[in-house]
Structure 1
């Protein structure tokens, strides 16, 4: 298995309607050879319907699915040669691990000697060789998921499709399997298309993430770009946590703009087109980009507030700070050598840089 074995996938205007309900609305995207793409969105966003259309289990109402520029929209699932891993593993309980992994090869009529060699290689790949003779019921959830991955990869599929493969695992095991899955992707060089509603999973696993809402593609890009430069309120709110600051543009400068929110004046760096003076603006500000200012410290943006609530999270504190003009602001404060001991009613002064926030569109404006 090598990166050269990866295949490019393209969706062109893909739509799926069920009567008067539109599950997928004109989605177009491209996955390059060997990339790991995650389809991310809330329940009902259309991500699983898209995956099933790629697999061939759902016929699109409109649009096309292309593999290496070849239209495969009408091709039945068994002729697409795609591997698939489901949320519930879908292992045969009466078969051993080796027999489960060998099943796709038996269906294809592969000779016994070649089949056994491929099964051994696939189990080595997921570090389960010593469990070859066990039944699925004798394995942990994480081990069963690795068997499902080995079975999906053993026949050298053109694509690997993953339908929320880690959602049945507990948080700690899910984090471990995320690392293993990412390493596995690097080793095999296949093109992976993953579906999840877990933002952390999407950020940690993917080369690119496609964010969906109500069947539409809202934004697609590298995880760090989507997190640092969301275009809309929905993307900023769904991918991580964010504060949303409303203001009116009062001044436009070459390097940014000044906003007024009640009696509070904010400065904001802006790349590209600037909003016109007098127009409303919405900023997305991540909690970890806010600092607590000491009496002798200053920042480009400063706001006074009072701690309304707080929680200790191990690595840090989550603070809810009530302000006069900006509403409640969430702050992520590292616990190690924190400058304060949080308590309700404690006055604090918040600060952040002009380029810490990013202007975003209200979702109605983006549509």
Structure 2
């Protein structure tokens, strides 16, 4: 590959309407050169429509798409020089691996010697040099995915667009290819824009994530920022798993839920209603004599074993059922239904969130 650096992408007020239906509305996004951005959201959230607008396959009803500050909104897809990897790979079954990878170069009428050089480099990049003469049907799903990546990168695209590229793979292979895709991004330094509904994939791969719901970006930022400091209930609930605690803020800034007083990560206005997000892995079982900023008594009503961790469901009087993630190795107690426990968590573990996602859009 040529080692071309990535390009910066900006979306300014981008929207798309189909008659009376709004698929995307008022999206502002900036992707730095060489960054890995993931558009994350549930089905129907607008993420794929947004990717198709970036690619040029869908014309926006409003707003502009900028590449390095240049307006490319009116450019057709073939003029944008973007590589794209589709969910189903879209390989030509009658062509060999090398022929599939060479296809974008043939379309661009590149001379044969240069085609061969670039195909060899692309095969080396995805570690498929030994498979050049095979056809797609002779490859595993993971190998076909690598061919699709090589074909999308062989002509030195300005951006690489990925439309759920790992969704057709089984869980173990998907995890392996996530690592390979992340390493590939680091090696070539290009700008990647990825679409997925898989939260773990988004957290693992991305420099930045934009979470969409109902056609709007409800929050964007670094993966750790979104996970640790979600602004809305939707973001906290969609990106991972969370408990939600409701109460009213007292005069001293604590949150009262029934007879339980809770401390939150940030000060809240006295007298206001509060909704706190609490990640299960931030809750621990307190031994006798242990102290925590927040604590509540409860009874274990169910549990499941997931290998690395137990997931406990603990019923409490004032906070309702709470989910707890407890490491299975060297667990402080052996889970059993009916076990009386005391749960504790730090003040900064309980993050205030907004109920209505639209309020934070």
Aligned equivalent of 2:191: 191
Aligned equivalent of 1:266: 262
Alpha carbons 2:283, 2:324 under 8 Å: kept: yes
Alpha carbons 1:3, 1:34 under 8 Å: kept: no
Alpha carbons 2:263, 2:350 under 8 Å: kept: no
Name the stretch that deviates more: 51-60 or 291-300.
Answer: 291-300
Aligned equivalent of 1:339: 332
1:120 aligns with 2:111: no
The number of equivalent residue pairs is 360
Aligned equivalent of 1:304: 297
Alpha carbons 2:2, 2:156 under 8 Å: kept: no
Alpha carbons 1:299, 1:351 under 8 Å: kept: yes
Instruction: State which of 263, 270, 288 in structure 2 corresponds to 1:295.
Output: 288
Change (3 A) 1:241 1:77: same
TM-score normalised by structure 2 residue count: 0.98
Tell me the CA shift for residue 3 of structure 1: 6.7
Name the stretch that deviates more: 3-12 or 189-198.
Answer: 3-12
Aligned equivalent of 2:360: 366
Aligned equivalent of 1:20: 20
CA distance in 1, matches of 2:31, 2:360: 24
1:220 aligns with 2:220: yes
Alpha carbons 1:15, 1:63 under 8 Å: kept: yes
Alpha carbons 2:4, 2:156 under 8 Å: kept: no
Aligned equivalent of 1:285: 278
Q: Deviation digits for residues 99-150 of structure 1, max 9, x if unmatched?
A: 0000000010001111000000000000000000000000000000000000
CA distance in 1, matches of 2:167, 2:69: 32
Aligned equivalent of 1:230: 230
CA distance in 2, matches of 1:236, 1:265: 22
1:5 aligns with 2:5: yes
Tell me the CA shift for residue 297 of structure 1: 1.1
Helix, strand or coil at the partner of 1:39: strand
CA distance in 2, matches of 1:234, 1:251: 28
Instruction: State which of 313, 321, 334 in structure 1 corresponds to 2:314.
Output: 321
Alpha carbons 1:258, 1:266 under 8 Å: kept: yes
Tell me the CA shift for residue 275 of structure 1: 2.9
Q: Deviation digits for residues 204-252 of structure 1, max 9, x if unmatched?
A: 0000000000000000000000000000000000000000000110034
Aligned equivalent of 1:144: 144
List structure 1 runs of 4+ shifted beyond 3 angstroms: 1-4, 364-367
CA distance in 2, matches of 1:251, 1:222: 34
TM-score normalised by structure 1 residue count: 0.96
